[in-house]
């Protein structure tokens, strides 16, 4: 199959030409390619499928909020062809090899998009972590209670994991330091809570992680301020990520969103949000931290933190490209090639000969509005409902097969494969 006359987003430039793929792989990229089957993409862009390195699909343990099927359909609808799923907190927690293998089986049966799994660190699962090195993409560690009780609370345990886990793969850290969060933070109203659970708690955790890492690969999840990014990026072995909600929302939005905007780490002040956009050149990746919770949970007094995002992340960033905030080439580095590179997914993230034919056909000129009824996540809401977007994903191709077209899913659960 040949896609003709497209604007093809390569690693460092946009190439006007054709893309040919065969048996699920990209075969040729060039001018005037000839072959039997062709489709014209004149006027449209071809982007690599996005790779989201940070999603919580809640399967097993929280399938009333999301499961591998609903989460992966939401991913495809949002142009994400590969997800990396964070450890489940229960059902059982992804902190043993047995649980990891059971989750791999579950993803294989239910996922529509390609996937890799992250493993969870606990105070004492060192033997399991050592064995997990081959099977997972990264090791997730929490410095706060945010991660369903998976908190690492002693220096000894942190250091032991840093030494034990596969050196070629990153340890991913939720850096909010519990000791630096006021004890009453969770009793406060949304905007006071956001201020109390400060960026300082992130700075303390990032410093601790980077120093204890002693040169090993580390990945700082969801940095929220320019200062955190500068600190993390002053260490050559450390990569970092920013979420769309920290780029597009601030404490100001909590007035309307209430607990629907409650997340860890929290939204920051408007000035800090704006400053994040000036760091798009120094961060490594954008990842959604897709953390769905039901409406019922979000409307309760002790609402859990987390916002969904896997389906809206790319449309929001395409809109930012149209607003002149970054180039399409940079967007694809942040959301496709770099996440694949950091987590060792060799066939993903780039339009190049030999890579998996995972790509999106995008109309950059189409304006549209996000409607709640069009969302695919089981949670059924998004803080970005009613947002005006510009840049529409027309078609999503995964390993050479059209998986999503014009709002319709064209493949079945189980099509998704483990990405390595």
Which one of residues 147, 205, 261, 383 is an interface residue with ligand DOR (CB under 6 A)? 147
Nearer to Zn ion (CB atom), residue 177 or residue 289 = 289
CB atoms within 10 A of CB 179: 11
Residues 301-360 that bind ligand DOR (CB under 6 A): 304-306
Candidates 264, 288, 312, 377; binder of ligand DOR (CB under 6 A) is: 264
Residue in this structure with the two tokens 């890799």, named with its chain if needed = 116
Please report how close the Cβ of residue 160 comes to Zn ion at its closest, in angstroms: 23
Total residues at interface with ligand DOR (CB under 6 A): 10
The residue nearest ligand DOR at its CB is: 306
CB of 97 to Zn ion, least distance (A): 22
With contacts defined by CB under 6 A, name the span among 92-100, 127-135, 241-249, 300-308 that binds ligand DOR.
Answer: 300-308
Candidate residues 55, 173, 291, 393; the one interacting with ligand DOR per rule CB under 6 A: 291
With respect to ligand DOR, which residue has the nearer C-beta, 78 or 304? 304
The residue among 49 and 383 lying less far from ligand DOR, judged by its C-beta, is 383
Total residues at interface with Zn ion (CB under 5 A): 1
Residue 363 annotated to the active site: no
Contact between residue 397 and residue 360 where contact means Cβ atoms under 8 Å apart: yes
Rounded to the nearest whole angstrom, what is the least distance from the CB of residue 308 to ligand DOR in the complex?
A: 10
User: 19 or 141, CB closer to Zn ion?
Assistant: 141
Q: 289, 356, 358, 363: which one is catalytic?
A: 289
Q: Judged by CB, which is closer to Zn ion: 48, or 304?
A: 304
Task: State the nearest-atom distance from the C-beta of 285 to ligand DOR, in Å.
Answer: 17
Return the number of the residue (30 or 149) whose C-beta is nearest ligand DOR: 149
Give the tokens for residue 271.
């000035």
Q: Which residues pair with 114 in a beta bridge?
A: 82
Cβ of residue 36: shortest distance to ligand DOR, in angstroms?
48
Q: Which does 319 bind (CB under 5 to 8 A by kind): ligand DOR, Zn ion, none?
A: none
Q: Is 176 in the site for Zn ion (CB under 5 A)?
A: no
Smallest Cα–Cα separation from 138: which of 51, 219, 55? 219
Task: Estimate to the nearest angstrom the gap between the alpha carbon of 27 and the chain centroid.
Answer: 28
- 47-76 footprint of ligand DOR as x/- string (CB under 6 A): ---------x--------------------
The minimum distance between CB 6 and ligand DOR, in angstroms, equals: 37
Write a three-state SS string for the chain.
CEEEEEEEECCCCEEEEEEEEECCEEEEEECCCCCCCEEECCCCEEEECEEEEEECCCCCCCCCCCCHHHHHHHHHHCCEEEEEECCCCCCCCCCCHHHHHHHHHHHHHHCCCEEEEEEECCCCCHHHHHHHCCCCCEEEEECCCCCCCCECCCHHHHHHHHHHCCCCCCEEEECCCHHHCCCCHHHCCHHHHHHHCCHHHHHHHHHHHHHHHCCCCEEECCCCCHHHHHHHCCCCCEEEEECHHHHHCCHHHHHHHHHHHCCCCCCCCHHHHHHHHCCCCCCCEECCCECCCCHHHHCCCCCCCCCCCCCCHHHHHHHHHHCCCCCHHHHHHHHHHHHHHHCCCCCCCCCCCCCECCEEEEEEEEEEECCHHHCCCCCCCCCCCCCEEEEEEEEEEECCEEEEECCEECCCCCCCCECC
Nearest approach, Cβ of 382 to Zn ion (angstroms)? 16
Cβ at position 205, least distance to Zn ion in Å: 14
Q: Taking CB within 5 to 8 Å according to partner kind, which of Zn ion, ligand DOR, none is near residue 306?
A: ligand DOR
Closest by Cα among 318, 194, 212 to 254: 194
Distance CA 121, CA 159 (A): 12
7: tokens are: 């604007």
**What backbone torsions phi and psi does residue 365 show, to the nearest 5 degrees?**
-95, -10
Binder of residue 146, out of Zn ion, ligand DOR, none (CB less than 5 to 8 A by kind): ligand DOR
Binding mask 265-294 for Zn ion (x = CB under 5 A): ------------------------x-----
Nearer to Zn ion, 289 or 350 (CB): 289
Restricted to residues 160-179, the positions that interact with ligand DOR (CB under 6 A) are 174
Closest CB to ligand DOR among 41 and 201? 201
Catalytic center residues: 289
Binding footprint of ligand DOR on the chain (CB under 6 A) = 56, 146-147, 174, 263-264, 291, 304-306
Binding footprint of Zn ion on the chain (CB under 5 A) = 289
């Amino acid at each position: 199959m040949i896609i003709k006359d497209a604007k093809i987003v390569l690693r460092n430039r946009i190439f006007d030409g054709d893309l040919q793929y065969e048996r699920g792989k990209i075969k040729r990229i060039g001018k005037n390619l000839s072959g039997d089957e062709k489709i014209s993409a004149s006027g449209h862009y071809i982007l690599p499928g996005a790779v989201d390195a940070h999603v919580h699909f809640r399967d097993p343990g929280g399938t009333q909020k999301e499961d591998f099927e609903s989460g992966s359909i939401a991913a495809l609808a949002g142009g994400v062809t590969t997800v990396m799923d964070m450890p489940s907190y229960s059902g059982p927690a992804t902190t043993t090899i047995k649980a990891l293998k059971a989750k791999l089986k579950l993803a294989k049966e239910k996922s529509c998009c390609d996937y890799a799994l992250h493993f969870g660190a606990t105070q004492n699962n060192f033997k399991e972590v050592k064995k997990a090195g081959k099977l997972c993409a990264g090791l997730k560690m929490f410095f706060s209670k945010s991660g369903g009780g998976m908190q690492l609370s002693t220096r000894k345990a942190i250091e032991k994991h840093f030494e034990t886990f596969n050196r070629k793969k990153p340890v991913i850290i939720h850096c909010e330091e519990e000791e630096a969060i006021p004890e009453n933070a969770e009793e406060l109203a949304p905007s006071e809570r956001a201020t109390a659970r400060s960026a300082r708690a992130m700075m303390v955790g990032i410093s601790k992680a980077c120093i204890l890492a002693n040169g090993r690969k580390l990945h700082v999840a969801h940095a929220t301020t320019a200062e955190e990014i500068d600190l993390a990026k002053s260490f050559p072995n450390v990569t970092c990520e920013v979420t769309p909600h920290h780029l597009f929302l601030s404490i100001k939005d909590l007035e309307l969103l209430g607990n629907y905007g409650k997340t860890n780490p929290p939204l920051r002040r408007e000035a800090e949000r704006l400053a994040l956009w000036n760091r798009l050149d120094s961060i490594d990746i954008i990842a959604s931290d897709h953390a769905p919770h039901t409406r019922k949970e979000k409307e309760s007094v002790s609402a859990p933190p987390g916002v969904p995002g896997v389906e809206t992340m790319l449309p929001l960033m395409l809109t930012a490209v149209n607003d002149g905030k970054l180039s399409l080439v940079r967007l694809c580095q942040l959301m496709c090639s770099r996440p694949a590179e950091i987590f060792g997914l060799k066939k993903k993230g780039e339009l190049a000969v030999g890579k998996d034919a995972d790509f999106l056909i995008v109309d950059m000129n189409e304006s549209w509005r996000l409607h709640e009824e069009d969302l695919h996540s089981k949670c059924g809401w998004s803080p970005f409902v009613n947002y005006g977007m510009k840049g529409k994903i027309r078609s999503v191709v995964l390993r050479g097969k059209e998986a999503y077209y014009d709002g319709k899913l064209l493949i079945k659960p189980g099509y998704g494969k483990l990405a390595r």
